[in-house]
Structure 1
Amino acid sequence: MTHLFEQRRNYTLGDPELDLIGDRAKLAQWRHKGIGPAFYKLGRKIVYRGADLNAWAEANRVEPRAGERH
């Protein structure tokens, strides 16, 4: 399985790699609604683990079905 994020790395708001899943405002909305990838809140700092981002991305993967039209 290919990973979109480095498994052992921690990502913080402002890291450009997070833009792959959403901008700062979108991530804030998801945190407020209790959806999106798992995160740590350390004081005022938000930290995403690469492993959690990859797990969330994999859970949201869509496999297109051959021959089906939308």
Structure 2
Amino acid sequence: MTNDKPASPPALTLPPPRPVPARFLRDYLRTTEVAELLGLSPRTLEKYRCVGEGPAFLKLGQRVLYARSDVEAWLQAHRCAHTSDGTYTAVIDARRAWRREP
């Protein structure tokens, strides 16, 4: 007797989560680390510091540090439910104005 049932598709499995590098678990992060975490360039974070758009930061001599809690708070403040959300449109308007400045 043959089995006339169609074969079930193979089960989809997700790869195991990658371990978080230890440098991202510290309380204070450097510009390059925050940039990597956010998917931005370090230069973009520098611009954000100049215009007051990015996460709060600490300046210790030449070194700039970001408190992990400040980065997370900044991310939460920029959450949007949809593209007509006021936060989203404010960010887009600010970027447009930024690019127009000489």
Query: With structure 2 as the length reference, what TM-score do the two structures score?
Result: 0.50
Moved over 2 A (4+): none
Give the residue type in structure 2 aligned to 1:49.
A
Give the residue type in structure 1 aligned to 2:76.
E
Aligned residues: 59
Q: Find the aligned partners of 2:39 and 2:50 in 1 and give their Cα distance.
A: 16
Pick the structure with more strand per residue.
Answer: 1
Structure possessing the higher radius of gyration over alpha carbons: 2
Q: Find the aligned partners of 1:9 and 1:43 in 2 and give their Cα distance.
A: 19
Q: 2:32 aligned with 1:10, yes or no?
A: no
Q: Find the aligned partners of 1:56 and 1:21 in 2 and give their Cα distance.
A: 14
SS where residue 11 of structure 1 aligns? Answer: strand
Superposition pairs of residues 42-61 of structure 1, within 5 angstroms: 42-61=60-79
Q: Find the aligned partners of 1:21 and 1:54 in 2 and give their Cα distance.
A: 14
Query: With structure 1 as the length reference, what TM-score do the two structures score?
Result: 0.71
Partner of 2:6 in structure 1? none
1:21 Cα shift? Answer: 4.8
Q: Name stretches of at least 5 consecutive residues in structure 1 with no aligned partner.
A: 66-70
Check whether the contact 1:38–1:52 (CA below 8 A) recurs between aligned residues.
yes
Percent of aligned positions that are identical: 32
Pick the structure with more helix per residue.
Answer: 2
Q: Name stretches of at least 5 consecutive residues in structure 2 with no aligned partner.
A: 1-23, 84-102
When the two chains are superposed, the root-mean-square deviation of aligned CA atoms in Å is 2.1
Check whether the contact 1:11–1:18 (CA below 8 A) recurs between aligned residues.
no
